[in-house]
Amino acid sequence: MFTGIIEETGVIRSRRRTPSGASLLIEAERIARTLKPGDSVAVNGVCLTAAEIHAQAFSCDLSGETLRRTSLGKALEGTVVNLERPLAVGDRLGGHIVQGHVDGVGRLTNVLATGESAEMEFSVPEEFLRYLVIKGSVAVDGISLTVAELKKSGFAVAIIPLTFRATNLRRLKPGDPVNLEADVLAKYFERFFQLGMAREQTANSVLTVEKLKEQGY
């Protein structure tokens, strides 16, 4: 489990095809020193496993599924990536619960820079829109962000100077792809809603919009 608070940006130094997908060598001066083979690490919001550790780099394998469903499928050598190690027991939860399970790929559509801050807009797949709410959490390339505004086909966020400097956001250009992960609480609520919040659904147990309205929601 991650929090969406980026610890370091790394650089993809090499990428090679493998029988099952691909292998990346990522340069990361600080994080690489703390990893051991088998450790999890979020790379642009994708939970991967460190395979080999070097002095200032680590390698990780990407499955065909990861290549198809995330922006790492088209990431090239030289790409700057956001890195985060899993949350340790007792650590502060500075962002929100991020699993490293990408729900879809969006695209940066607009950037309005104001000094060292920025407002950024992203388009998202249609099926992702239902998980977004004003002031809710969303992970963009593994970064925990707060939805500032909902758009017809996406959302906008306000980026503070620290986040702009410490992540890959400052390098993105309109049209660039980003990995998206919805707040897991929203996904659980959706599932409970689908099941009527009851083990055995009956006419009286199924939760509907009408029943929520009756309760004042």
Tell me the C-alpha distance between 51 and 71, whole Å: 20
Torsion sign, CA atoms 32, 33, 34, 37: positive
147 contacts 158 by C-beta, under 8 angstroms? no
pLDDT tens-digit profile of 75-113?
A: 999 999 999 999 998 888 899 999 999 999 999 999 998
User: Percent of the chain having pLDDT more than 90?
Assistant: 80
Domains in the chain, CATH or no CATH each: 8-84 (2.40.30.20), 104-184 (2.40.30.20), 185-217 (no CATH)
CA 102 to chain centroid, in Å, comes to 6
Q: What is residue 85's predicted lDDT score, i.e. its pLDDT?
A: 97
> How sure is the predictor about 207, in pLDDT bands with cuts at 50, 70 and 90?
low
Is the predicted pLDDT of residue 199 greater than 80, yes or no?
Answer: no
Select the more confidently predicted residue: 116 or 50: 50
Write the DSSP symbol of residue 31: G
Of 172, 187, 175, 186, nearest in space to 44 by CA:
172
Burial per residue of 103-140, b for 16 or more beta-carbon CB atoms within 10 angstroms, e otherwise: bbbbbbbeeeeeeeebebbbbbeeebeebbeeebbbbb
**Distance, CA of 217 to CA of 214 (rounded, Å):** 7
Looking at residue 116, what is its pLDDT? 85
Task: Name residue, tokens 């400097």.
Answer: 165
Tokens for 1, please give them: 């489990």
**Two tokens at 162?**
């620290």
Lookup: tokens for 144: 């925990």
pLDDT of residue 198: 47
Residue 205: pLDDT over 60: no
Q: pLDDT tens-digit profile of 20-75?
A: 999 999 999 999 999 999 999 999 999 999 999 999 999 999 999 999 999 999 99
How many Å apart are CA 150 and CA 108, to the nearest integer?
14
How far is residue 39's CA from residue 84's CA, in Å, rounded to a whole number? 11
Report which of 42, 67, 159 is spatially closest to residue 108, judged by C-alpha positions.
Answer: 159
Q: pLDDT at residue 208 above 80? A: no
114: confidence class by pLDDT, cuts 50, 70, 90: confident
Q: Does residue 213 carry a pLDDT above 80?
A: no
Average pLDDT for residues 175-194, to the nearest whole number?
Answer: 92
pTM for the full predicted model: 0.88
For 85, the token pair is 């190690």
Over the chain, what is the mean pLDDT?
92
CB 6 within 8 A of CB 45: no
Work out the pLDDT band at 217, boundaries 50, 70, 90: low
Angstrom distances, CA of residue 120 to CA of 35, 49, 110, 156: 33, 30, 6, 6
**Lowest-pLDDT choice from 25-29, 35-39, 161-165, 210-214:** 210-214
